[in-house]
Amino acid sequence: MRVSIFGLGYVGAVCTASLAHRGHQVMGVDVSPVKIDLINQGKSPIVEPGLEELLSEGRQAGRIEGMTEGYLAVQETELSMICVGTPSKANGDLDLQYVENVCRDIGVALKDKGDWHLVVVRSTVLPGTVRDLVIPVLEEVSGKRAGVDFGICVNPEFLRESTAIHDYDQPPMTVIGELDARSGDLLAKMYEDLDAPIVRKPIEVAEMIKYTCNVWHATKVSFANEIGNIAKSLGVDGRDVMDVVCQDSKLNISRYYMRPGFAFGGSCLPKDVRALSYRASQMDVRHPLLSSIMSSNDEQVAHAFNIVTGYGRRKIGMLGLSFKANTDDLRESPLVELAEMLIGKGYDLQIFDRNVDYARTYGANRDYINHKIPHLANLMESDLRGVIDHADVIVVGNNDELFETVIAEVPEGKRVVDLVGFMKTASNDVLEGICW
């Protein structure tokens, strides 16, 4: 494939060398004559193990050419990849001037190009950037239409400095955010020889994936550091602790706790977070990440309350009171907290939970229900259909399979708030998800 790459910094130089190594013809574009001279000499403009060898190989094979003007590069290639920097502004926002400048250069070339052309944004940009900046600039300058006269994709990179060549050749996945199938098909073809799954999503999803991955990595570093600091203060080697933690791939290193939704609860997580945070404070160990966990959890309950009450309707039906299905345990259930917030504001609330209803009469939690939350016990109903008929807003609170049918068949005139994830689509006029 014939590819033009705009921006020959860290990402652009690695992509240029790696694509050429895999047999593609690459035209590299940069405003810096110094970088272009180095590329055309087969030398690396950055320090990265193995990069210079691949650039030299590509130049000798005639598969790499560097230039400062992008017009010819667009005319002579099928695909243009934007790899320019997106540095931070003083307020933390992204500085997108380089992305905009490149889009204008590409737009000028597209105006005079007869063939369909694919523009790929490899630079890290926030969700909405392609829709609100890249496409409008390209269309304005070229006089052509995205999705008709040219294609658009987002293709976030997952390259770590010092191991970038290896990461390019063996990525965890290749993410393609596509404007349309034609755009995605062409970009997927370029990566078909890589041994990694190709994930094709809408543009905004791909933009968000990159930020989510990076923030998650940063969170893991901070988490491990805080655990290490607390462990050391207690005479424990934090490396030994985290080494064992990382051996658990069923829960600790898995997708189990990585699904957006409602707040966590139960008899373990809230209690243990508070206890470790308290002990760290006793030892005078700062732990800003861990100490923020409970307040973040409280914010998710408040977020659900705002969604439920935002409809301006007074009759609420809550399906589920225990923090998850198949248990009658109400200790630290965020649904109990949500219910208390609703009745505290005078809402007409009815609650259905078949496991809690059983426990209220027979179970081991009978005393807890009758003595700790009698104000909620009085709102419990045994008839699911009766609660649904009563409510103007139905809150699906836990993942009891009975409640999935409510999502599928919403009674006319009612609204459903899904805190679990039964919904297969994003929020609409009838169904609203807490995170989707």
Residue 18, pLDDT score: 98
Residue 86 annotated as lining a ligand binding site: yes
Sheet of 25-29, strands arranged across? 64-67, 25-29, 2-6, 79-82, 117-121, 150-154, 174-178, 198-202
* Element at 205 (helix H, strand E): helix 203-233
Closest by CA position to 60, among listed 34, 41, 35: 41
Torsion sign, CA atoms 210, 213, 217, 223: positive
- Tell which phi-psi region holds residue 40, choosing left (phi > 0), alpha (psi between -120 and 50) or beta: alpha
Closest by CA position to 342, among listed 363, 303, 316: 316
Residue 191 annotated as lining a ligand binding site: no
Which of 112-121, 128-137, 256-265, 342-351 is predicted least confidently?
256-265
pLDDT digits (tens, 9 = 90+) for 110-147: 999 999 999 999 999 999 999 999 999 999 999 999 99
CA angle, corner 375, sides to 348 and 380, nearest 5?
65
Residue 369, pLDDT score: 79
Residue 367, pLDDT score: 76
Q: Is the pLDDT of residue 368 over 80?
A: no
Residue 232 annotated as lining a ligand binding site: no
Residue 323 annotated as lining a ligand binding site: no
Residue 324 annotated as lining a ligand binding site: yes
State how far the Cα of 148 lies from the Cα of 107, in Å rounded to an integer: 14
pTM of the model: 0.84
* Element at 245 (helix H, strand E): helix 238-245
Which of 112-121, 320-329, 410-419 is predicted least confidently?
320-329
Q: Fold identical between 2-201 and 296-433?
A: yes
State how far the Cα of 266 lies from the Cα of 245, in Å rounded to an integer: 21
State how far the Cα of 157 lies from the Cα of 175, in Å rounded to an integer: 8
pLDDT digits (tens, 9 = 90+) for 163-209: 999 999 999 999 999 999 999 999 999 999 999 999 999 999 999 99
pLDDT interval class at 303 (50, 70, 90):
very high
Residue 363, pLDDT score: 65
Amino acid at 109: A
Residue 225 annotated as lining a ligand binding site: yes
Q: Is the pLDDT of residue 105 over 90?
A: yes
The domain 296-433 having CATH identifier 3.30.1370.60: the answer here is: no
Distance spanning both ends of the chain, measured CA to CA: 38
What are the φ and ψ backbone dihedral angles of 348, each rounded to 5 degrees?
A: -85, 100
Residue 257, pLDDT score: 87
State how far the Cα of 7 lies from the Cα of 39, in Å rounded to an integer: 12
Structural contact between residues 354 and 402, judged by C-beta atoms closer than 8 angstroms: yes
> What is the 8-class DSSP label of residue 31?
S
268 in active site:
yes
Structural contact between residues 416 and 410, judged by C-beta atoms closer than 8 angstroms: yes
> What is the 8-class DSSP label of residue 30?
-
Residue 372, pLDDT score: 76
Q: Per-domain residue ranges for the chain?
A: 2-201, 203-258, 296-433
State how far the Cα of 436 lies from the Cα of 433, in Å rounded to an integer: 5
Closest by CA position to 123, among listed 150, 92, 154, 101: 154
Instruction: Annotate 44-87 with three-state secondary structure.
Output: CCCCCCCHHHHHHHHHHCCCEEEECCHHHHHHCCCEEEECCCCC
pLDDT digits (tens, 9 = 90+) for 226-246: 999 999 999 999 999 999 999
State how far the Cα of 180 lies from the Cα of 154, in Å rounded to an integer: 11
Name the token pair of 372.
């700790």
Q: Is the pLDDT of residue 422 over 70?
A: yes
State how far the Cα of 115 lies from the Cα of 142, in Å rounded to an integer: 13
Q: Is the pLDDT of residue 364 over 80?
A: no
Average pLDDT of the chain, as a whole number: 94
State how far the Cα of 193 lies from the Cα of 112, in Å rounded to an integer: 32
Residue 161 annotated as lining a ligand binding site: yes
Residue 109, pLDDT score: 98
Name the token pair of 173.
């996945």
Name the token pair of 435.
């995170």
State how far the Cα of 153 lies from the Cα of 55, in Å rounded to an integer: 26
pLDDT digits (tens, 9 = 90+) for 79-103: 999 999 999 988 989 999 999 999 9
* Element at 352 (helix H, strand E): strand 348-352
Name the active-site residue from 103, 153, 246, 268.
268
* Chain CA centroid to CA 7, Å: 26
Closest by CA position to 393, among listed 320, 326, 311: 311
Residue 210 annotated as lining a ligand binding site: yes
State how far the Cα of 319 lies from the Cα of 394, in Å rounded to an integer: 7
Closest by CA position to 154, among listed 123, 182, 116: 123
Q: What percent of the chain has pLDDT over 70?
A: 99
Q: Which CATH architecture has domain 2-201?
A: 3-Layer(aba) Sandwich (3.40)
Residue 77 annotated as lining a ligand binding site: no
Residue 11 annotated as lining a ligand binding site: yes
Residue 211 annotated as lining a ligand binding site: no
- Please compute Rg for the chain using Cα positions: 27
Torsion sign, CA atoms 334, 340, 345, 346: positive
Torsion angle of the four alpha carbons 87, 91, 94, 100, in this order, in degrees rounded to the nearest 10? -100
Q: What would the mean pLDDT of 334-355 be, rounded to a whole number? A: 95
